[in-house]
Structure 1
Amino acid sequence: MEKRHLSLIFILLILSVTFAGCITQTNIKTETLVLPEGNYTTIYLNEKDTSQCPASKVPVTFTYMPPKNESITSVSLRGSFNDWAEWPMQKENGAWSITVCLEPGRYEYKFFINGEWVKDMSSDKYGNPVDPEADEYVDDGFGGKNAVRIVEGSMGFVLEHNPGDPAYLCVADNRTVVRFKTKPGQVQSAVLVTNLGEYEMSLQLWWGSGEMWRVELPFVEPIEYYIKLTTPDNEEFLVLNTSTDAFFSFDGSNDFPQVEWVSKGVGYQIFPDRFNNGDPSNDALALQTDEFWFNELIEDRPILSNWSDPITPLHCCHQYFGGDIRGILEKLDYLQELGVTFIYLNPIFLAGSAHGYDIYDYYRIDPQFGTEEELKLFLEEAHKRGIRVIFDFVPNHSGIGHWAFLDVASRGKESPYWNWYFIQKWPFKLGDGKAYIGWWGIGSLPKLNTMNPEVKEYLIGAALYWLDFGFDGIRVDVPNELINADEFFSELRQRVKEKHPDAYIVGEIWQLSPKWVQGDKFDSLMNYALGRDILLNYALGTWNGERTLELLGRYFASYGENVVAMGFNLISSHDTSRLLTDLGGGRFGENPKPEAIERLKMLSTLLYSLPGAPITFQGDERGILGEKEYYDAHRYPIQWDKVNEEVLTHYRGLGMLRKRIPALTSSAIKFYTAKNGVIAFFRGHENEVLVLANNGKTSTSIVLPPGKWKLVWPTEEGIFEGEIEVPPVITLVLERE
């Protein structure tokens, strides 16, 4: 009797481990994978056929017909579909054209003619459209107009799955995630058939032209697999690799590992000169190396201000206030109370401006911020509190006070650093952006020649130096501007991860752009495409719930779940107006409007409830206002004697919520519904958390998923079943009972 009892307990333990997802290949029977018998329609996804686009994309031809008697030597296509990079067009019979494969959607673009942008695609110098085949023309934000092409969806059954793309197969939260994309309403049910068993797939995301289906396997092991699915009219399909190699495969190795401390973290961005002044004795050192002393075309001089002095026209770049490393050290306990687990520092290396993006020496901390000893102490104290620190890395350009550039300016081609930059004429005056290539033509930011092996080694060596020093990751400035971006950042990643496998590498890319996060360059991008393009517009009431969920669907379908989990998710930063100002809260120096505060609370809760790490720009948690248009007023020093306690208490609560609810720091998200101003989605691997946000001005009733749901935010009062009334301008978080 006792033996039978022990045997039963053992069986129950095995079952509990299995259903908890703790399965490895050692307790799963491996079978030889064979195709089923029956009347199935077979789809081969990787048959070699270069004559047409993949089933999910449409061939689109762009044509440029030059005006008569115009001398055209080159034409390229640049648009939102290729991150505004160049796709050369070919000339035939007097016209320049290119055919590309695009998914259904709306795309903005311009032609790049003879090495120059077309200013206005709607009208050339003769008043004719540059591309008369465009569907419309829109403001490009720079005084010109982009053309717009609207691509309609193709007919017939469409399915997309590529095991080489983390959007379709990745390891996230130590699980194997397999997904496929299809057109809306084409699939009724789907099963992932593997040599380790069959796993039911479910609809995860949707948007106007597509759906994403998903399954997670509770192990990371080598598998062979195919997909079996049924359509709404009961037609059955087998989705296979090729006719000669039927099964997809995964070798079980995690080639793009998730940086888990980011996934579970809360980030905070610090602009050092404007955060906190801990050592007034080093304040004046900022003036000694300012760019104005080097720039031969400018007569202005930098100024040193007291912490509460008014904003001047130099506020952006050459008005210093004295913030430093010791000042950040003094606020570590404050940051810990916010739930912050990592800090992103704007540049702290020797430079010629308050923003620090014109670096003079990549291996030296700017004396205005303190000493290396103080920096080491700061990192040690941060680490004691469980706070990691990433630094800003600027490989595209230096400042004009950089020792190599000064040598070039002085000695011309006699300088050993002549090929470190792109000099167009010499001699030149420092600051003359026409004499050498600068970032966006700015003379104070000469562009570095990263094709030069010496420059590449100097820059990558600097990144490794500071990681060895004690930093935990790198934020890369304007990576898309490098002339050899793919090669440079592939090598940077390889060398960084070899020495510091847990280091976080994030690139400043503002658009939705999966090509940067395929496992060979960055772990994540600065997700303005999520925070500003989608969430901010939702919080402003620009879009209703249905439209917002569709945009979120496109976003989350574009990236691997491992990438989404490492998301650097921000809405405001040193490059944007403050969050409260963007939400209509008012201008710098005013008291924020109450409705804007409510929208801030709704929006920040939403940000903290999504996969990835929410990032707060310094002071947003204190209810500060500031518009970028007013001399970058959003960068004004934090006045520590002033705070909106309601906002600060809210952010502290969000930090505690992330720690208390593990599902909110998982990689998993699944859509539930959208109605009026409401969006609703699940979090967690068992859909154990439900998040509902309402941007509308009236309450909306939502039918709840089966079971009982406990409200855990913004209060912990109430258990709901059947349906729930979602009040206006709020985000609710519920946990399954």
Structure 2
Amino acid sequence: MNLQGFCHIPKSNYAYAYTDKDLDIRLRTAKDDCTEVWVVISLKHRWQDKKAYKMEKIFSDRLFDYYQYRFHTEDSRLGYYFEVSDGTQTLVYSESGFTDTFDDQNAYFHYFQYPYINETDLHRIPDWVHSTIFYQIFVERFCNGDRTNDPKPLTPWGQPPKSQSFYGGDLQGVLDKLPYLQELGVSGIYLTPIFQSPSNHKYDTTDYRKVDEMFGSKKLLCKLVQRAHEMGIRVVLDGVFNHSSWSFAPFQDVLERGEQSPYKDWFHIDSFPVGRFTEEEAHDYTKPLDLSRLNYRVFGTSPSMPKLNTENPELEAYLLNTVSMWTKDTGIDGWRLDVSDEVNHGFWRDFRKTVKAINPEALIIGENWHNAFPWLQGDQFDSVMNYPVTKSCIQFFARREVDAAQFTEDLSGFLMCNSEQADFAMLNLLDSHDTMRFLTWCGGDKRLLRMAVLFLFSYVGMPCIYYGSEIGMEGGGDPDCRRTFDWNRANWDEDLFHFYQRIIALRKKEKALQYGTIRMYAEEGVFYLIRACGESRLATVLNNTDQKKTIALQDDFEPLISTESWENGVLEPFSGCICRLF
């Protein structure tokens, strides 16, 4: 056996409390190295009652296999070790390493332990995440519902966007289009920032306690949330607490008063006086910037977005009081948090306590583009935007850089990075305001988009549609991915829209797609994903090749939805289906 391939870490993604009485225990081995893996468990104070339980190999990535066993117990003070076999040799793997046998007489020196499941340490996710389908709205580009609050100069709706373009989209527009979202079938909307800001994107906040006038008012926001709730749609707001706007009053005070400002510690100032930039320099991202004058920390290299020092107690109190106010007064259902991985963990722990004290079912989503396990242990975020899966979808469906087997392996590795709770709460997306639109990645080939959508709605986590994807919107990188929504239905791809309606309805109907276990494999270049919940089992089959493929399932099946017409279980090239298994 390849001993270097083994890994187990207590109190991590390899051993975590699923409920107050259930412990998930995982073991990593080298790929195809073991034939059997057992976990031997007992109460630490009754070690003589130890029992062995066979672990299931649930996933394999490119290098490793992953085994898991869910142990139910009324007393969580546990010790355990593993017995691993390759068919010719059996070894014990414990905290003391590898041995031929386990020293029961001195067990407390050697076993792995899970000391105790404290209820406050459990990662509890909102109950509603399993059934929710999100729709991301870039507010300034969705719908102009109130012409009286339009900024000037205004770019005509439909013209290609530039970084400084304003079109007049607002909260009234979102409110007016709630019936459209209900027609589509989504059950949650995530709004990009709506608070006072000089930009079209609003990721540079000037006043955290005021809705931007060009979007509406606090009263209108409350009306939007109430009406959405009446229609069965939840609302999540975007919070930007890593940085503010250059025009944020406390930063302006630092610019004017320097070291005498009471707000100087709200920011990361390297030296005084603070470097000054003209409005054009601060806000025109298209021109090169003299960074030698930048003596304070910022988001990226933008002087218009000074980084906030969230370790400062006064600033933290101001921000959390603000979060409390919006959460209480509007009835929103959660927060998406911008640049969340650059903010200190202590702030996020206090953020979670603040939000969950008001609404225990509120959802907290971080914007982390990479492995986010340090933020997903139950004390900070419920989940993050699942950009690793986005990347893999681009590589598999759009660019065809990986095959079905490699796609399966990569997804398996992602799932093993976190607890099952975090995996089921992930915000899964094909594109966003920060990426090229997925259809553009696909070169306009809607067959590839449809396959990716089937996958998105079959995978564990919450599917999220970027506004306009359902009608065939395209766009390159920022700002082109932020085009205005075309409300002239004559220009829509109605077939694509109805396909989205059908897959949304299927996701909302089938408990297996919401709560089910997941297993994945590849065969003859075809990707298979199986979801199972109770007696219900569904299979998603995707043929991302240029050849016809016969579906190879061991069970009888009935097609529920497909991207192309098909006969006798044969999939056309670049097509897929979801089937019910019998």
TM-score category (smaller protein):
0.7 to 0.9
1:645 aligns with 2:494: yes
Q: TM-score, normalised by structure 2?
A: 0.86
Distance in 1 of aligned mates of 2:322 and 2:411: 37
Contact 2:11–2:114 (CA under 8 A) maintained in structure 1 = no
Give the alignment of 1:127-166 within 5 angstroms.
155-156=2-3, 158-166=5-13
Give the alignment of 1:257-272 within 5 angstroms.
257-272=124-139
Q: Cα deviation per residue 1:298-347 (whole Å; 9 max; x = unaligned)?
A: xxxxx212323x236xx22x321111111111111221232312111100
Contact 1:450–1:456 (CA under 8 A) maintained in structure 2 = yes
Distance in 2 of aligned mates of 1:710 and 1:235: 44
Distance in 2 of aligned mates of 1:550 and 1:176: 25
**What is the CA distance between 1:674 and its match in structure 2?**
1.1
Q: Cα deviation per residue 1:518-576 (whole Å; 9 max; x = unaligned)?
A: 22222111111111x21121102211111111111211111111111001111210111
Correspondence for 1:628 = 477
**What is the CA distance between 1:698 and its match in structure 2?**
0.7
Give the alignment of 1:293-692 within 5 angstroms.
303-308=153-158, 310-311=159-160, 315-316=162-163, 318-423=164-269, 424-426=271-273, 428-431=275-278, 434-469=294-329, 470-482=331-343, 485-531=344-390, 533-540=391-398, 541-585=400-444, 596-628=445-477, 632-641=479-488, 642-666=491-515, 668-671=517-520, 673-685=521-533, 688-692=537-541
Distance in 2 of aligned mates of 1:422 and 1:230: 51
**What is the CA distance between 1:259 and its match in structure 2?**
2.1
Contact 2:541–2:578 (CA under 8 A) maintained in structure 1 = yes
**What is the CA distance between 1:365 and its match in structure 2?**
0.6
Give the alignment of 1:695-734 within 5 angstroms.
695-705=544-554, 707-714=555-562, 724-734=569-579
Contact 2:5–2:64 (CA under 8 A) maintained in structure 1 = no
Q: Cα deviation per residue 1:631-678 (whole Å; 9 max; x = unaligned)?
A: x1221110110311011111111111101211111262122x313431
Correspondence for 1:34 = none
Residue type of the alignment partner of 1:454: E
Distance in 2 of aligned mates of 1:263 and 1:399: 36
Distance in 2 of aligned mates of 1:713 and 1:554: 28
Contact 2:566–2:572 (CA under 8 A) maintained in structure 1 = no
Residue 336 of structure 1 aligns to a residue in which SS? helix
Distance in 2 of aligned mates of 1:199 and 1:385: 47
Residue type of the alignment partner of 1:491: D
Correspondence for 2:581 = 736
Contact 1:711–1:719 (CA under 8 A) maintained in structure 2 = no
Structure of higher RCO (CA pairs closer than 8 Å, 6+ residues apart): 2
Q: Cα deviation per residue 1:158-190 (whole Å; 9 max; x = unaligned)?
A: 432334113543427996533221111232233
Residue 24 of structure 2 aligns to a residue in which SS? strand
Residue 359 of structure 1 aligns to a residue in which SS? coil
Correspondence for 1:244 = 108
Call closer, same or farther: CA 1:218–1:616 in 2, change over 3 Å.
Answer: farther
Q: TM-score, normalised by structure 1?
A: 0.69
Correspondence for 2:30 = 183
Residue 491 of structure 1 aligns to a residue in which SS? helix
Distance in 2 of aligned mates of 1:376 and 1:555: 37
**What is the CA distance between 1:223 and its match in structure 2?**
6.7
Contact 2:450–2:563 (CA under 8 A) maintained in structure 1 = no
Residue 367 of structure 1 aligns to a residue in which SS? coil
Aligned length: 543
The percentage of aligned residue pairs carrying the same residue is 30
Larger of the two Rg values belongs to structure: 1
Residue type of the alignment partner of 2:313: P
Structure 2 gap ranges (5+): 44-50, 97-106, 283-292
Call closer, same or farther: CA 1:157–1:167 in 2, change over 3 Å.
Answer: closer
Contact 2:237–2:335 (CA under 8 A) maintained in structure 1 = yes
1:231 aligns with 2:95: no
Q: Cα deviation per residue 1:237-281 (whole Å; 9 max; x = unaligned)?
A: 444456425364474555111223123211110111110111111
Q: Cα deviation per residue 1:341-388 (whole Å; 9 max; x = unaligned)?
A: 211110000001000011001111111111211111110111112211
Distance in 1 of aligned mates of 2:39 and 2:538: 25
Q: Cα deviation per residue 1:19-65 (whole Å; 9 max; x = unaligned)?
A: xxxxxxxxxxxxxxxxxxxxxxxxxxxxxxxxxxxxxxxxxxxxxxx
Residue 735 of structure 1 aligns to a residue in which SS? strand
Residue type of the alignment partner of 1:732: C
* RMSD over equivalenced CA pairs, Å: 2.8
Q: Cα deviation per residue 1:405-430 (whole Å; 9 max; x = unaligned)?
A: 22222222332222222343326534
Contact 2:563–2:575 (CA under 8 A) maintained in structure 1 = no
Correspondence for 2:285 = none
Structure 1 gap ranges (5+): 1-153, 288-302, 586-595
Residue 368 of structure 1 aligns to a residue in which SS? coil
Call closer, same or farther: CA 1:176–1:380 in 2, change over 3 Å.
Answer: farther
Residue type of the alignment partner of 1:563: A
Larger % of helix: which?
2
Q: Cα deviation per residue 1:469-492 (whole Å; 9 max; x = unaligned)?
A: 21111111112233xx12222222
Q: Cα deviation per residue 1:204-240 (whole Å; 9 max; x = unaligned)?
A: 1112210111234578874746355452325344444
Residue type of the alignment partner of 1:650: F
- Deviation larger for 339-348 or 456-465: 456-465
